[in-house]
């Protein structure tokens, strides 16, 4: 295990923060400021991989670059997240690679704590809680759903939990040598590329570590339609990752497609077996009860949001083309 950087004689490793950016005019400045407000004692460089944004994102990035000498940009013509991440990683030299998204905000002390956890545990990747924060009532309701075990299946990076090894984490703080040794992010994956990289890291003998003291603020999608599209894409790309890595599907990920199939079959046979309607009725009752427990203030919104999360992911996994 590596010596902790807290030791008097230890040298803090250099850090490269990489961020793929596309159409993030609304959130980019807040995300970048949260990086440069970190208290990390070592060297920090930041690289934005700029996709072909349709808004003023790239102009904003240029202004930020003018005001901060540690910030640089690289082109990401495809606009795809894994291609942008890889371009930024290759353009930087830090011993530690910190992934940040354009709509994410690092909590104070995030980088310092993450590097300490890497050194303390010997892990190759560490991450913490995806702390969803809404700026509208709908986004607030989505944030509540994302923190609910009923909404997201109990993944620690959504709901929190005890520190320890996990299958994946949100974003991630990586040892550069570890991710370079397994080939960086798979650029064929539009979604789920982080989960797939963590599979390869674990298969290579590395440990992916969850630290609940780490937190990244996340902005949920602003509409039900956007949320549905997002989770359908997640489901579709999960199916693709499963083809690449058979056996990687977790129980929490299998529940939505099984539930959707069960309800469709139950409704289809209900003219002959009316008791089959107990299956969708039980799901509806679970949605209402979980919505009430999660947030009475957002009860009506959650009754729509929970099924959107579950059924969009399930439909994407079962039938949506990538």
Hey, is 29 helix, strand or coil? Answer: helix
Encode 195-214: b = buried (16+ Cβ within 10 Å), e = exposed.
bbbbbbbbeeebbbbbbeeb
* Mode of pairing for the β-strands spanning 15-21 and 104-106: unpaired
Residues 117-138 have a mean pLDDT of 95
Q: What is the pLDDT of residue 10?
A: 54
pLDDT more than 90, % of the chain: 86
Convert the pLDDT of each residue in 132-163 to its tens digit. Answer: 999 999 999 999 999 999 998 778 888 888 99
Q: Are 307 and 263 in contact (CB under 8 A)?
A: no
Q: What is the pLDDT of residue 2?
A: 42
Q: Give the domains, in start order, of the chain with CATH numbers.
A: 15-222 (3.90.550.10), 243-318 (no CATH)
* pLDDT at 7 > cutoff 60: no
Residues 286-311 have a mean pLDDT of 97
Phi, psi angles (nearest 5°) of residue 147: -90, 0
For residue 17, what pLDDT band results from cuts at 50, 70 and 90? very high
Q: What is the pLDDT of residue 33?
A: 93
What tokens were used for 307? Answer: 């099924």
Q: What is the pLDDT of residue 152?
A: 85
Residues 70-74 have a mean pLDDT of 95
State the Cα–Cα distance between residues 13 and 41, nearest whole angstrom.
9
Give the residue among 114, 81, 82, 73 at the shortest CA–CA distance from 97. 114
Q: What is the pLDDT of residue 160?
A: 86
Residues 66-80 have a mean pLDDT of 94
Residues 51-70 have a mean pLDDT of 93
Alpha-carbon distances, residue 70 vs 16, 35, 47, 174, 280 (angstroms): 10, 11, 8, 20, 55
State the Cα–Cα distance between residues 274 and 265, nearest whole angstrom.
12
* pLDDT at 304 > cutoff 60: yes
Residues 175-204 have a mean pLDDT of 96
Task: Please tell me which residue, 277 or 10, carries the higher pLDDT value.
Answer: 277
pTM listed for this prediction = 0.89
| 7 class by beta-carbon count within 10 Å (0-12 exposed, 13-18 middle, 19+ buried) | exposed
* pLDDT at 257 > cutoff 80: yes
Residues 232-261 have a mean pLDDT of 91
For residue 247, what pLDDT band results from cuts at 50, 70 and 90? confident
Contacts of 236 (CB under 8 A, 6+ apart): 191, 316, 317, 320, 321, 322
Q: How many CB atoms lie within 10 A of CB 10?
A: 12
Mean of per-residue pLDDT scores for the chain: 93
Q: What is the pLDDT of residue 322?
A: 65
């Amino acid at each position: 295990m590596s010596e902790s950087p807290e030791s008097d004689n230890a040298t803090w490793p250099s850090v490269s923060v990489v961020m793929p950016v596309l159409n993030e005019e609304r959130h980019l400045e807040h995300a970048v400021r949260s990086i440069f407000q970190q208290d990390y004692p070592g060297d920090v460089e930041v690289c934005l991989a700029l996709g072909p944004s349709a808004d003023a994102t790239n102009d904003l990035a240029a202004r930020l670059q003018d005001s901060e000498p540690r910030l640089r940009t690289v082109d990401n013509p495809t606009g795809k997240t894994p291609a942008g991440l890889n371009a930024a990683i290759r353009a930087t030299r830090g011993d530690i690679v910190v992934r940040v998204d354009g709509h994410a905000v690092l909590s104070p002390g995030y980088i310092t704590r993450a590097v300490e956890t890497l050194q303390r545990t010997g892990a190759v990747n560490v991450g913490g809680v995806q702390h969803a924060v809404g700026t509208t009532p709908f986004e607030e309701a989505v944030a509540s759903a994302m923190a609910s075990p009923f909404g997201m299946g109990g993944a620690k990076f959504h709901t929190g939990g005890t520190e320890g090894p996990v299958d994946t984490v949100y974003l991630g703080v990586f040892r550069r040598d570890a991710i370079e040794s397994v080939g960086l992010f798979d650029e064929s994956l539009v979604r789920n590329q982080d989960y797939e990289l963590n599979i390869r890291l674990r298969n290579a003998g590395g440990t992916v570590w969850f630290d609940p003291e780490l937190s990244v603020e996340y902005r949920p999608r602003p509409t039900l339609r956007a949320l549905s599209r997002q989770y359908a894409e997640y489901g579709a790309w999960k199916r693709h990752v499963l083809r690449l890595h058979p056996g990687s599907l977790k129980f929490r990920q299998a529940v939505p497609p099984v539930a959707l199939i069960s309800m469709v079959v139950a409704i289809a046979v209900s003219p002959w077996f009316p008791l089959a309607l107990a299956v969708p009725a039980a799901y509806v009752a679970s949605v209402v009860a979980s919505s009430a427990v999660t947030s009475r203030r957002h009860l009506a919104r959650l009754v729509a949001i929970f099924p959107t999360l579950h059924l969009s992911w399930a439909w994407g996994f079962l039938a949506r083309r990538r």
